[in-house]
Structure 1
Amino acid sequence: MLCLKKVNLLILLALNVAFSACSKSKKNKQTCFLSEHYSHFPYAINQPAYTYILDNTLHEISGLSYVKENKLLCVNDEQGYVFEYDTQQKKISRRIKFAKKGDFEGVEWVGNDCVVLRSDGRLYFLGDIDNIVSESKKVKTGLGPKNNTEGLAYDISTHSLLIACKGLAYPDSTYPDKRAIYRYSIADSKLIQKPIILIDQGELEIILNLDANTKFSNKLLKGLAPSKGNLIFQPSGLAIHPISKNIYVIGSVGKLLLVLSPQGELLAVNKLKSKIFMQPEGICFAPDGTLFVSTEGKLSQAKIYQFKYKPILND
């Protein structure tokens, strides 16, 4: 009987480790919802493995990108600088001036080059920041201030940039209850005119109202009407997972982290704790799947959180 109890205890401990990222909170509320096509969210998103405290220079950190081991790129609202942050030394290791003041919301490392996104849809191509000899190249994408572009990610498979809109999903009022992700071809210097992904706020609202023990089904949710906009989700950052290739979209407004398939299917919805993520706006991955999320300072210091990748083997 004693041996049987020990075996049962070990099984319970193993299950607890495997599904800790989508567990209930102390108040018995579900914090992570998974699609029937997605068995496991691989991060304990409200339990950072490590926290980097940033100085006032990055108090309004708004974009984040992985460069190489111990090196992240950051941009700050209203400053035309790219900052290189050293996670080993826990400080800014250098800063690169690329423009005058502006509302800069995203930064991405593309091969050996750096690209910055402004909220009016303009892109700044800096080139190799180790060998900058001239000013950056500014490009109009066709998106504008009403779209309020905030998220930027590099898709290596298509050599393109993904741009998430916090505001209008389209140049006009088309898709009023949705949030859009566009693709910008670097080779063609051209924006694909229609969104490649649309995030339905009504769908999110329905998912978050599901019973805590129920996985959501995209088939069941299809065709259900939103409940008049009680939920507001506005993307503030996105990144492509280097292993699964899924797209992670974070929203400061709405306090959610979404996981989408490369085709745009909604796979997971994570509630973010406000006391940890005061204003999350930057997200990126290391090649091994380590996740980094930055949050603005608000009433305290800005931070970068690091999360360990915990996949289920053979899944």
Structure 2
Amino acid sequence: MRILLSVAILISAHGTHLRTPLFMHELPAELVEVSGLTDVSDTSVACLQDEEALLYLLDVHDGTVMERHRFGPPGDMEGLTRVKDGFYALRSDGLVYHLRKARSGYALADTFRLRLPNRDIEGLGYDEARGVVLVAPKDVLKGDPQLRDRRQLFAFDPHTHQLLPEPVLSYTLSGILQQARDAGITIPVRTTPKGRQVPELKLRMASVAVDPVTDHYVILSATDRTLLVLDREGRFVHLYFLDPDRLPKPEGLTFLPDGRMLIASEGRNGPARLLGYSGLGLQH
């Protein structure tokens, strides 16, 4: 696999861009629609392919596929997270596959469904401190403006597979954008057909992870190519803008134990990619 490296730090008028990646690996053609990403060890990660129930184990050093494990029929596979020596894989309609370590790799232990009002659920991430699996819906609920403005992060107990009774986080798009402006970040805008200027950002969730160094929630939006960082109380910490040339459609986010952050992007007019960054605490 080809590795592309550079060393600049980018700051734009919109806000803070991530430092140039530590590495950028092109992924095999079979992963052009890579989806979901989770750590396995210091040197390996796991991901999914969007249309197949296939678990891939990748070498962090070069992006090569080390193992493949089929666990179900084709479907819109989106989220993936590791819990101890097993995995949870999420289909966008809320069906969750629980995979356990077996002699021949990983085998399907059971399935269960997340009973959420959302119809497009994309992200999973393990919150080790709380012992729960985070669930990030992509779609916004239909209804009045206040409902459409709301963003919520849910979680389930990996022992019982039951959703927690209350969201882990609940915040509003308008509130987050205002906090970003107050922090000196310029929010990009677009002009409506009626001539009004409105924020371009929707902050729809594609993936979620907990930064092992700062203990902050990090929420990836593929549509906006942003990383929203919130503390445990849901307070705004930072908003990062991703490079569209390197990450045309970022779908997966995870952290390695040493704090390095990895992002996987689907291919668009080219191969999918796996990028590694220094920890977010080192980005400023």
Mark yes or no: TM-score above 0.5.
Answer: yes
The amino acid that maps onto 2:15 is T
Query: CA–CA distance in 2 between the matches of 1:214 and 1:171?
Result: 31
**Correspondence for 1:175:** 147
The yes-or-no answer on 1:289 pairing with 2:259 is yes
1:95 aligns with 68
Contact preservation (8 Å) 2:135, 2:155? yes
1:185 paired with 2:167, answer: no
Cα deviation, residue 233, structure 1: 2.0
Q: Is the 8 A contact 1:46 1:276 kept in 2?
A: no
What is the DSSP-based 3-state SS (H/G/I as helix, E as strand, rest coil) of the residue aligned with 1:259?
A: strand
Greater share of residues in strand: 2
What whole-Å deviation, never above 9, does each CA across 1:28-71 have from its counterpart, x for those lacking one?
x1422xxxxxxxxxxx6251110010011110011101101221
Q: Is the 8 A contact 1:105 1:117 kept in 2?
A: yes
1:208-223 → structure 2 map (5 Å cutoff): 210=181, 214=184
Residues 169-192 of structure 1, C-alpha deviations (whole Å, 9 max, x = no match): 599997321222101111232102
Amino acid corresponding to residue 45 of structure 1 in structure 2: L
> Where does residue 220 of structure 2 map in the other structure?
250
Tell me if 1:124 matches 2:85.
no
Question: Following the alignment from structure 1 to structure 2, what is the Cα–Cα distance between the partners of residues 310 and 206?
Answer: 22
- Matched ranges for 1:1-315 at <5 A: 24-25=11-12, 29-32=13-16, 45-128=18-101, 135-143=108-116, 146-168=118-140, 175-207=147-179, 210=181, 214=184, 230-309=200-279, 311=281
Shift in CA distance, 30/157, structure 1 to aligned 2, threshold 3 Å = same
Change (3 A) 1:111 1:174: farther
Contact 2:251 2:266 in 1 (8 A): yes
Distance 2:143 2:157 in 1: 19
Q: Give TM-score, length-normalised by structure 2.
A: 0.84
RMSD over equivalenced CA pairs, Å: 2.8
Q: 1:296 to 1:152 in 2, by over 3 A?
A: same
Q: Which deviates the most, 120-129 or 168-177?
A: 168-177
Q: Which runs of 5+ in 1 are unaligned?
A: 1-16, 33-43, 217-226
Amino acid at match of 1:200: T
The secondary structure found in structure 1 opposite 2:58 is strand
Please give the alpha-carbon distance, in whole angstroms, between the structure 2 residues aligned to 1:197 and 1:94: 35
In the TM superposition, what is the alpha-carbon distance from 1:147 to its structure 2 partner? 3.6
What residue identity is the alignment partner of 1:52?
Answer: H
Contact 2:100–2:109 (Cα < 8 Å) also in 1:
yes
CA distance in 1, matches of 2:154, 2:21: 30
Q: Is the 8 A contact 1:167 1:179 kept in 2?
A: no
For the residue of structure 1 that corresponds to 2:40, the secondary structure is strand
Question: Given residue 195 of structure 1, which amino acid in structure 2 is its aligned partner?
Answer: P
Question: What is the aligned-residue identity percentage?
Answer: 23
The residue identity in structure 2 corresponding to 1:189 is H
Name the CA shift for 1:181/1:98 in 2 (closer, same or farther; >3 Å).
same
How far the C-alpha of 1:128 sits from its partner, in A, is: 1.5
Assess if the C-alpha contact under 8 Å between 1:46 and 1:273 holds in 2.
Answer: no
CA contact 2:14–2:185 (8 Å) conserved in 1:
no
Query: Deviation at 1:165?
Result: 0.7
- Ranges of 4+ aligned residues in structure 1 off by more than 6 Å: 170-174
Distance in 1 between the 2:179 and 2:271 partners? 33
Deviation at 1:304, TM superposition (A): 0.5
**What amino acid sits opposite 2:122 in the alignment?**
E
